[in-house]
């Protein structure tokens, strides 16, 4: 697939199943992630690759985090969080490992990690897999970082749910370029 084709046809898929990418394909996706723009070469990227029993661990981490964030979380909501990781056979947690830098604010380091995430979605799409980027309650807070064993400097910026596409994909919306672009000349 040409780069432009991959960019124009990428489509999020919420229904995902086996098979997942091979080790080799995963490595390609990570290498693509590591080509994200990165001001001052800080390398803020960190990824947690979760499959199999790891999904059970993530499910436990979601429940503990939800209880910490709100001890009164209703049981039906906790059930929803418990099952959330099983919506895909592979989850890659996007973690920004940021540090103070005189020229590069933390937000830029998080944006670089987001760019790495998009590179991975595109790489998986190119290799014939589907995915969807999710955030929700279990991103951008210290509670989930602690549950995932992350350092003080590390923050979860999202989750890539990855797998083979199960069923039909949605129609890609047609957007007018001019609605989004201002031209100065
Ligand atoms: C930072 C970020 C966080 C997102 N979080 C969620 C989420 O928690 N749940 C969800 O259903 N979609 C979430 N989305 C949206 C989907 O990833 C996806 O973009 C959306 O379903 C539209 O599909 P498309 O990417 O094919 O246009 C998020 C997207 C981004 C960029």
DSSP per residue over 6-26, as a string?
HHHH----S-EESPPPPHHHH
30 lines ligand 1 (CB under 6 A): no
Task: Collect all residues with Cβ–Cβ distance below 8 Å to 148 and sequence separation of at least 6.
Answer: 48, 61, 93, 95, 156
Architecture of domain 3-7+14-168: 3-Layer(aba) Sandwich (3.40)
pLDDT by residue (tens digit) across 25-57?
999 999 999 999 999 999 999 999 999 999 999
The protein residue with its alpha carbon nearest to ligand 1, atom 25, reads 12
Q: What is the pLDDT of residue 147?
A: 98
> What tokens appear for 99 in the block?
């540090």
Q: What angle do CA 57, 62, 63 make, to 5 degrees?
A: 100
Distance of CA 159 to the CA centre of its chain: 3
Give me the mean pLDDT over the 100-117 stretch: 98
Q: Where are the domains of the chain?
A: 3-7+14-168
Residue 66: CB within 6 Å of ligand 1? no
Pairing between strand 45-50 and 154-165?
unpaired
CA 90 – CA 27 distance, rounded (Å): 14
12 CB near ligand 1 (under 6 Å) = yes
At 64, list the tokens.
């503990």
Average pLDDT over residues 5-9: 97
pLDDT at 1: 67
Tell me the C-alpha to C-alpha distance, in Å, between residue 139 and each of 33, 45, 96, 156, 176: 19, 15, 11, 5, 32
Per-residue pLDDT tens digits for 132-166: 999 999 999 999 999 999 999 999 999 999 999 99
pTM for the predicted model, two decimal places: 0.97
Quick: pLDDT tens for 59-106.
Answer: 999 999 999 999 999 999 999 999 999 999 999 999 999 999 999 999
Query: CA distances (Å), 18 to each of 82, 94, 130, in order?
Result: 20, 21, 11
- CA–centroid distance, residue 166 to ligand 1 (Å): 18
Residue with tokens 């799409």: 125
Cβ–ligand 1 distance for 17 under 6 Å, the answer: no
For the CA of 170, the closest atom of ligand 1 is 26
């Amino acid at each position: 697939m040409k780069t432009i084709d991959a960019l124009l046809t990428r489509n999020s898929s919420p229904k995902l199943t086996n098979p997942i990418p091979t080790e080799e394909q995963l490595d390609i996706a990570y290498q693509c992630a590591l080509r994200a723009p990165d001001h001052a070469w800080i390398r803020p990227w960190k990824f947690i690759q979760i499959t199999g029993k790891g999904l059970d661990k993530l499910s436990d981490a979601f429940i503990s985090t939800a209880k910490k964030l709100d001890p009164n979380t209703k049981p039906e909501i906790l059930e929803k969080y418990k099952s959330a990781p099983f919506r895909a056979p592979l989850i890659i947690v996007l973690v920004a490992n940021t540090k103070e830098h005189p020229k590069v604010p933390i937000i830029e380091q998080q944006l670089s990690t987001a760019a790495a995430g998009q590179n991975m979605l595109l790489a998986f799409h190119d290799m014939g897999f589907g995915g969807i980027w999710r955030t929700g309650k279990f991103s951008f807070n210290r509670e989930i970082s602690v549950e995932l064993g992350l350092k003080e400097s590390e923050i979860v910026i999202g989750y890539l749910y990855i797998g083979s596409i199960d069923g039909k994909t949605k129609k890609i919306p047609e957007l007018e370029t001019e609605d989004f672009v201002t031209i100065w000349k």
